[in-house]
Amino acid sequence: MPSRLAELDADFAAIFAEAGIDLTWDGATYRAVLADPRVELDLQTGGFLPEADFQVKIRKAELPDPGPRTRQTVVIRGESYAIKGLTDRPTSPLLILHVARA
In CATH, what number is assigned to the domain containing residue 50? Answer: 2.40.10
CA–CA separation, 101 and 69 (whole Å): 16
The per-residue pLDDT for 72 is 96
Q: Is the pTM of this model over 0.85?
A: no
Check residues 48 and 99 and name the one with the higher pLDDT: 99
> What are the tens digits of pLDDT across the range 17-75?
999 999 999 999 999 999 876 766 666 676 766 566 889 999 999 999 899 999 999 99
Instruction: Quote the domain boundaries for residue 18.
Output: 4-101
Other residues' Cβ atoms within 10 Å of the Cβ of residue 9: 18
**How many structural domains is the chain composed of?**
1
